Structure 1
């Protein structure tokens, strides 16, 4: 896919990896980027402003991706406003921080919320935008996590949701081919507010330093590094159903 002139939808596009993806697509010449958000309206507006400053059309669209009706309304709005969708980046995600041994902490509500956003949200978006992506012979990239491949992460529910998202990626690649390619990225530790707000800058910095010592590249990923992977998969016309790990090689020595 040549990103130049395309229309892209980025869920969870207001902050972190999603915002970096939106800006990366704008720099690659995208005609328009729809920045989806659920709560971060101020951040989404700021992302839109940065994308527009790069010469790309952009707008923020509120929708809870775990709500199928809301996703369908978003798809209808984008279809009416832009007439096409070439790329879908399912980046919206959530978690609940629950230590692995605390099985009682994994309540039904925790499972519903985490699976609803991280797994069902990606499915609802793929289903709603499939007709547009099929017409454009477009592509989907799901943002998963190394927690979907290894027993690590913020909670068991989070890891299970990301593992399921990786399987959904493979299944959708089969279901939506040959017109639509579907791939995923699996980041490791990334310097975003996702971790920093939870841990604090000092604790996050200490954790990142320890992780860097175990990674061949000896550095912590920034959102821009994951955005590189996302755009690379969108551009890779002969790749589908694949998972690209972006953790500086840390997974080689877990």
Structure 2
């Protein structure tokens, strides 16, 4: 059984929505949390205050994940604060509301922004933490060879995809394409980082977050058409993230919590 109290987790986009729920769940389990945010400083600090009130360990780190240098600093600061990094939750992402048939509104700027954050940003984060995780693995192997009583640490990455990357339909065409790329990135990283680091992806359908603000009627219409007649909550996704992080036999998988949308 996993002991979360000796684990450190970076959660990107951890101040709001699913990211916040993941941070709170990890803190509840006892993990040390490095909560990354880009612009949502107020929400990030509030999330950190909640964790601290629970008696949890947390630091908040501002970084734009589309900036490779900022990501590398984020990882260094986390390692300096907690001494190790065991898990990465690649949650930060952006969207753009454009009707799927409105191809003329899909500008180069839209493409560049979504790909830089949703795809390249996740790659930057994975690449930076992989260096730390592999270094930890080597040290642990050396200690094991010296017959010291040290268990080899578990290391894993979860990328946040989307059902849009499976169906091709979502808030916009570039968003769906970017999430399809995240799913492929997951499989490629799983191969590249095996056997030391497991990499999986969650591809949820609609979730009750601030992205649905002002569209509650649409959300309820959608939920009524689903077999389970509900929309996932951030807490649902947080529970799933935590369970997949510790599944030692799973890598390269795309898991879609969608309340039956695809059946």
What is the TM-score with the length of structure 2 in the denominator?
0.90
Residue 2 of structure 1: how far off its partner (Å):
4.1
Aligned length: 245
Which residue does the alignment assign to 2:11? 10
Unaligned 5+ segments in structure 1 are none
Partner of 1:145: 162
Q: Is the counterpart of residue 27 in structure 1 residue 28 in structure 2?
A: yes
Q: Is the 8 A contact 1:3 1:235 kept in 2?
A: no
Q: Residue in 1 aligned with 2:130?
A: 130
CA deviation string 1:180-224 (max 9, x = no partner): 00001011111100221xxx1xxx222122212221211111100
Q: Within 5 Å, give how 1:206-221 maps onto structure 2.
A: 206-221=217-232
Q: Which moved more, 1:77-86 or 1:132-141?
A: 132-141
RMSD: 1.1
**Secondary structure in structure 2 of the residue aligned to 1:251:** coil
Query: In structure 2, what is the Cα distance between the partners aligned to 1:4 and 1:215?
Result: 38
Give yes or no for contact 2:17–2:234 (8 Å, CA) kept in 1. Answer: yes
Judged with a 3 Å threshold, the aligned counterparts in structure 2 of structure 1 residues 125 and 67 are, in CA distance, closer, same or farther, namely same
Q: Secondary structure at the match of 2:5?
A: coil
Distance in 2 separating the partners of 1:17 and 1:53: 20
Partner of 2:256: helix, strand, or coil?
Answer: strand
**Counterparts of 2:88 and 2:63, CA distance in 1:** 15
- Residue in structure 2 matched with residue 73 of structure 1 by the alignment: 73
Contact 1:66 1:117 in 2 (8 A): yes
Contact 1:61-1:74 at 8 Å conserved across structures: yes
Farther off after superposition, 130-139 or 231-240:
130-139
Structure 1 distance, partners of 2:178, 2:210, is 20
Shift of 1:109: 0.7
TM-score normalised over the length of structure 1: 0.93
Runs of 5+ consecutive residues of structure 2 not aligned to the other structure: 137-152
Match of 2:193 in 1: 176
Query: What secondary structure, in the 3-state scheme, does the structure 2 residue paired with 1:250 have?
Result: coil
* 2:204 corresponds to which of 171, 178, 187: 187
Q: Structure 1 residue runs of 4+, over 3 Å off?
A: none
Give the conservation status (yes or no) of the 8 Å contact 2:212–2:219.
Answer: no
CA distance in 1, matches of 2:166, 2:50: 34
- Find the counterpart in structure 2 of residue 39 from structure 1: 39
Q: Provide, for residues 9-35 of structure 1, a one-character-per-residue CA deviation record: whole Å limited to 9, x for no partner.
A: 0000000000000011111121x1011
**Which segment drifts farther, 104-113 or 205-214?**
205-214
- 1:199-210 to structure 2, matched below 5 A, reads 200=214, 204-210=215-221
Larger Rg: 2
Say if 2:91 and 2:160, in contact at 8 Å, map to a contact too: yes
Give 1:113's aligned residue: 113
